[in-house]
Amino acid sequence: MKMVEFEYDIGDEVLIKAINIIGKIDSLTLDNNGKMFRVIFWNDGSRHSIWMYSFEIGLFKPKGV
């Protein structure tokens, strides 16, 4: 069996590039479309959970870290 390495881990805080909001990775998957990450975030008082590709997110680094 092959081992798959993901760019992000469960619990990582990521920046959702399209909307410039911070979210948290809560699940990883590999399917026919490639590696995907489920990201949870809050926007306008609503909680969202959406699958995203690595090019849609970036690792969040707080200022001064």
| Pairing between β-strand 57-59 and β-strand 21-31 as defined by DSSP bridges | unpaired
Structural domain spans, the chain: 13-59
Tokens representing 39 are 């990201």
Contacts with 48 (C-beta within 8 Å, 6 or more apart), sequence order: 40, 41, 42
Tell me if the pTM is above 0.75.
Answer: yes
Tens digit of each residue's pLDDT (9 = 90 or more) over 9-61 = 999 999 999 999 999 999 999 999 899 999 999 999 999 999 999 999 999 98
